[in-house]
Amino acid sequence: MRALITFLAAASIHAPPMLGQKVVVIGQSAEVVAQLERTKPAGVTITHVTDRGDGDAILLREAADADAIIGNPTLPLVQTAKQLRWVQITSAGVKPYLFPELVESDVVMTNAQTLSSAAIADHAFAMLLALTRKLNHFIPDRVNETWRGGNYGLVELESKTALVIGTGGIGSNVAWRAKAFGMRVIGVDPEEFPPRPSFDRMVYPDRLDEVVPEADVIFVCAPHTTDSEGMLGPAQFEMMRRGSYFIAVSRGKLYDMGSLVRSLDSQHLAGAGVDVTDPEPLPNGHPLWKFENVVITPHVATQGRLGSELRLQLYRENIARFSAGEKLRNVVDMKKGY
């Protein structure tokens, strides 16, 4: 009997289409909802609940008979949605939504991985170039109309080594850009994949300490999982090459903030760019704010027109696939966390 139940659960992704499917969409713009309404298959009902004013009571009521949810769920929402078969997370990271009630269920989770990878990679290199070309010093001079000549020790990227931690959508895009700048690229990832021209070398995370000292810049691009949390701690920051750069654009919990601050304070690192921090938002008075050689942005690297268009396309296609009982795009392995 257990084997039969398991088989039926696995087959449910490819089950025949059901009538009267209800998809609850949380917190999307009116334009996105209108697009979903125009392209939805027959028999699908789109119910939009904003997460800015409608309140939890309305959302829980609508979710009670929902077949699918597009939006980031809370635990009460998951517990209420007894008919739920699919949940579409709006970000690439899913760790905050891996409730046991979902992980151990037959619900299919999909995410937005790779959709904003190009934007995030652009952001990562914007931060690095701002530091290597000292734009963080020159940009404020425009306000005061100050022309300050001199030798600023500007750095070129040609022949430098980039260590890319996490070689999925974000990391691959970072690697492509690094190669275009003439850099040597080392990738760190737990998954095996065929050789790619954008990586000169690949290692598993258990070899991280061997390659950290080789890097002129470290890009943190991996998802936040139980295994990746805190993977860059005090020991790794001490191993970093003096005069190197640190760029974090995936999740703040992958690196130790105190160690980053100490490395900057001792001038061991030449600079850092962070779009993600722990804690987040970065509070007033935090020591990271004081460094002139640090670029801080408020978790906005995903923003870009291309990513928004791709996200809408993903929602539309997955609604159609769900309605037809077909395999969904961007399915998450909830046991692995990505």
Q: Is residue 331 part of a domain?
A: no
> Residue 45 sits in a domain of what CATH number?
3.40.50.720
> What CA–CA distance (Å, rounded) separates 53 from 253?
30
pTM of the model: 0.86
Q: Nearest CA to 220 among 178, 187, 249, 191?
A: 249
Q: Are residues 259 and 132 in the same domain?
A: yes
- Would you state the pLDDT for residue 15? 47
Q: Are residues 72 and 132 in the same domain?
A: no
- Would you state the pLDDT for residue 8? 34
Q: Quick one: 300 exposed, middle or buried, by C-beta within 10 A (0-12, 13-18, 19+)?
A: exposed
Tokens 């600023």 belong to 152
Q: Are residues 75 and 156 in the same domain?
A: no
> What CA–CA distance (Å, rounded) separates 140 from 279?
27
Residue numbers in the chain where pLDDT is lower than 70: 1-19, 51-55
Query: Is the Cβ–Cβ distance between 167 and 193 less than 8 Å?
Result: yes
Query: Is the Cβ–Cβ distance between 90 and 72 less than 8 Å?
Result: yes
Which domain covers residue 266, as residue numbers?
A: 117-296
Q: Are residues 80 and 212 in the same domain?
A: no
Q: Is residue 336 part of a domain?
A: no
Q: Is residue 337 part of a domain?
A: no
Nearby residues of 54 by Cβ (< 8 Å), 6 or more positions away: none
> What CA–CA distance (Å, rounded) separates 233 from 219?
15
- Would you state the pLDDT for residue 192? 83
Give ∠ CA 159-119-254 in degrees, rounded to 5. 75
Nearby residues of 63 by Cβ (< 8 Å), 6 or more positions away: 24, 69, 77, 80, 81, 84
Beta strand 217-220 pairing with 244-248 = parallel
Q: Are residues 44 and 124 in the same domain?
A: no
- Total domain count, the chain: 2
Q: Is residue 335 part of a domain?
A: no
Count of beta carbons in the 10 Å neighbourhood of residue 10: 10
